[in-house]
Amino acid sequence: MTDTTIEKIKCLIVGSGPAGYTAAIYAARADMNPVLYTGMEPGGQLTTTTEVDNFPGYPDGIDGPTMMIHLQKQAERFGTQVRIGMATAVEFSREKGGWHKVIIDGNKEIHAHTIIIATGATAKYLGLPSEQRLRGGGVSACAVCDGFFYRGQDVAIVGAGDTAAEEATYLANICKSVTMLVRKDYMRASKAMQHRVENTPNLKVLYNTEVEEVLGDQVVEGLKMVNNQTQEKSEIKITGLFIAIGHKPNTDIFKGQLDMDDTGYLITMGKTAKTNLPGVFACGDVQDKEYRQAITAAGSGCMAALDAERYLNMLESH
């Protein structure tokens, strides 16, 4: 690769969800001339969500893809270059003021003084064809985002950990009934969360139970289930199915260079977006496994851009 093919920039943003686009808006307004690469899923997880009702400023709600187009246009209005492409390899500098190398799509090399990582996380699904077909038609991986649409209805949730227990009790507050499907004969959730589940009257737990098929043509109408001990099959009528078996942060290419927790989420320092390397910042779901909302991702995108701006100012003043 010759030097002529290397592009040198002040600020590279990797990822295009609410975190990446918000970082781009702030970075562009600070004259950092950011370049943003969209990644595999332009717009991030929100593009698989039909209605977004909980993002401030949209009194009538908005669908996820439209909201991402709005954010992109706003970032571009201030001069962000939005490009289709995916970071496939990185080589970060450990020196203050050093150039960070990023390879895009295996063939384009970019050197940047600051990198903002907003690659997000991917919800884990069961992998059933019927489940994938009905995503956005009643199958969701976020009860807090989509539970409202099933107010007063019968729903089911798959999962056994703290998140599943928390989402199940959240759904029980707004839905008529919640059926929780646990694959093993016990829950992994903490004792406190298990007690909360047990004490919720309209929440029923089925142990040793797996989904065989999600029923419905356009929207979810029911579930075919199987008891993995007795092989007994059963069906229930539901209008919403929530998958709460975890998320996988999109951090594989940063392994060995950036500090991560044991599940692969990037670790940021204190109340900042700073990673363990100078000039590398992380925001959104790639470093947040607690809240995972569009609004918190956007807020952390703002923080990352401000941190990156301060870092560049510090380099220029030395």
What whole-number distance in Å separates Cα of residue 181 and Cα of residue 225?
9
Is the Cβ–Cβ distance between 161 and 247 less than 8 Å? no
User: Residue 244: which of 192, 182, 291, 202 has the closest Cα?
Assistant: 182
Burial bucket for residue 94 (CB in 10 Å: 0-12, 13-18, 19+): exposed
- Are 272 and 31 within 8 A, CB to CB? no
Single-letter amino acid, residue 126: L
Q: What secondary structure letter does DSSP report for 260? A: B
Which amino acid would we find at residue 224?
K
* Sequence-separated (6 or more) residues with CB below 8 Å from residue 236: 154, 156, 179, 222, 223, 225
The amino acid occupying position 213 is E
How far apart CA 53 and CA 146 sit, in angstroms, is: 9
Q: How far apart are the first and last CA of the chain?
A: 32
| Other Cβ atoms within 10 Å of 95 Cβ, number | 10
Pairing between β-strand 240-243 and β-strand 154-158 as defined by DSSP bridges: parallel
Would strands 139-140 and 240-243 be described as parallel, antiparallel, or unpaired? parallel
> What residues pair up with 177 in beta bridges, in sequence order?
154
Query: What element of type H or E holds 166?
Result: helix 162-174
Pair 15, 253: CB distance under 8 Å? no
**DSSP 3-state helix, strand, coil percentages of the chain (rounded to 5)?**
30, 30, 40
Residues annotated as part of the active site: 142, 145-146
